[in-house]
Structure 1
Amino acid sequence: QHIAYWYSDGSIVVRVDSQTIYKIHLSMLTKLSKVTEEILTIPDNKQSDDPNREGTSLYPLFIPGTNAQEFNDFLFWLYLTEWESLGDDVEKERMCTHLLKLADMWEIAAAKKYAIHALDMVYLSPSRRLELAGKFAIPDWVRPVVRRILDGKLSQLKDDDICAMGWKVYSMLVNAMEMLGEETRRTALVPPG
């Protein structure tokens, strides 16, 4: 049993791995999206007071595609009381990245919007922000991040940054830098007037 997410008045017991089970409020999850509603639908052929039905302590409903840490971070958002009570930027980034993953997987627009807004308040390196923008389809981040990278020097990027953004993106940035440099040289050769 999870200590923080075992509510005595919870209406469903779920598990995301072989170890941890949660007793949470079904209505809070099913109202989030059609996907969560479908995942958490229990067949009607079992009586709601039947201890052998899925979604009970004896037979927790398995939720695929996530792990305990990701699900804990998702439940933190779901039962959120105050975001500011979180720790440092590293913890916020981890939690929001998990939230983005599950928000995309379960099509929860409110969770995705919340995670994006929260990550806007956290310092992320340009390459990390670009990586997340590509992974979770956040187009509003792409242009400012690329501009920021192109305004600097590619030689300042660390190996980890290059690996995070991927070689394809890195090579596109190198080509863009070369084109900008060539355009700057051509512009400098044109006499004024």
Structure 2
Amino acid sequence: MPSPTPSPTTSEAKPETVSEDHRWSLVTFKVEDKLYRVPRHGFTDFSSVFETMFSLPQADTTQEGDTDEAPIVLPSCTKVEFESLLRVMYPTAPRVRQVDGSKEHWVHVLKLATLWDMQEIQETAIAELEGLNLGQIEKIRLAKEYWVSDWLVEGLTDIVQTWGTSTTLDELGRELGWEAAARLVDLAVQFKPMKGKGTAQLPAPICPEKTCNKRHSLSSFAFEFEGDGIDPLRLTETCTSCTKEFPVADIEISSACPMGEEKLSEEIKVLFGEELKSMELHDIV
């Protein structure tokens, strides 16, 4: 059987040029003592820093990163951090081998995504870390280092709400500075719900049941309170004649907790306003 002969039209047709998504240009990076030869499009697609770098004209015929002999040196990260980022950018066989989901891995990814303005990858790292139970101080430290304003407010709010049961004053002072730590402790004292006991002196109550109307001789009511002071404490009495329970007084104990959660959040945003404003300038969530 004779071999098939391509038609003149087929042999003379010029191949279609495909996008870089299907025609990869490789680039060589050097991190510490190791060379990495990876597709360039991931860095230009995800990072405005690298997109700008690769668009700049270079005088030499061989551009930096074209070969192993002329790599782009990345002094601002370690091999472990860079490889963590590569596993997210270029996942291999995702149905067989999942991306490492450890906290350390995603912190590495967040660091480089922030450094190189990789917003989509940065948002992914933040979402993954939010599901990994960050500690209070850890969340604040990462928030300040990588400009995640929501984490700063959440971490500080959590410290105030749980003050005395988790973070110590020494830890807080080392992380925030002693002046800010002292102010935060003051907020914690104002916010902390209180417990207590009291006695209310009231006129002798009358049962509201129309068929009863018994006047009770009790005029002193003992009560206990525990809470945020938003709702009044309702005192009730059970009629000894008809057994009907009825309210006799509402005791306001709002002084037990002069600051609610909404006010607490506002105070924290004022206290750390400069840092939060700086984070907003970096367009970080």
- TM-score between the two structures when normalised by the length of structure 1: 0.73
Q: Secondary structure at the match of 1:99?
A: helix
Mean Cα deviation higher: 72-81 or 158-167:
158-167
**Which of 27, 34, 40 in structure 2 is aligned with 1:26?**
40
Q: 1:98 to 1:189 in 2, by over 3 A?
A: closer
Distance in 2 between the 1:126 and 1:26 partners? 38
**Which of 120, 125, 132 in structure 2 is aligned with 1:115?**
125
Distance in 2 between the 1:61 and 1:135 partners? 25
Q: Deviations over 1:68-102 (max 9, x none)?
A: 111111111111354983556xxx22122122221
- Do the aligned residues in 1 keep the contact of 2:28 with 2:68 (CA within 8 Å)? yes
* Structure 1 partner of 2:207: none
User: Is 1:187 aligned with 2:200?
Assistant: no
Of structures 1 and 2, the one with the larger relative CO (CA 8 A, separation 6+) is 1
Unaligned runs of 5+ in 2: 1-23, 195-227, 230-252, 259-285
Q: Deviations over 1:56-79 (max 9, x none)?
A: 112212123222111111111111
- Do the aligned residues in 2 keep the contact of 1:42 with 1:54 (CA within 8 Å)? no
- Do the aligned residues in 2 keep the contact of 1:128 with 1:164 (CA within 8 Å)? no
Percent identity between the aligned chains?
21
Distance in 2 between the 1:13 and 1:97 partners? 24
Note the aligned Cα RMSD (angstroms).
3.3
Distance in 2 between the 1:174 and 1:162 partners? 9
**Which of 65, 71, 77 in structure 1 is aligned with 2:88?**
77
Structure possessing the higher radius of gyration over alpha carbons = 2
Q: Deviations over 1:5-34 (max 9, x none)?
A: xxxx761111022x1000001122112122
- TM-score between the two structures when normalised by the length of structure 2: 0.52
- Do the aligned residues in 1 keep the contact of 2:49 with 2:116 (CA within 8 Å)? yes
**Which of 12, 16, 20 in structure 1 is aligned with 2:27?**
12
Q: Secondary structure at the match of 2:75?
A: coil
Unaligned runs of 5+ in 1: 1-8
- Do the aligned residues in 2 keep the contact of 1:10 with 1:23 (CA within 8 Å)? no
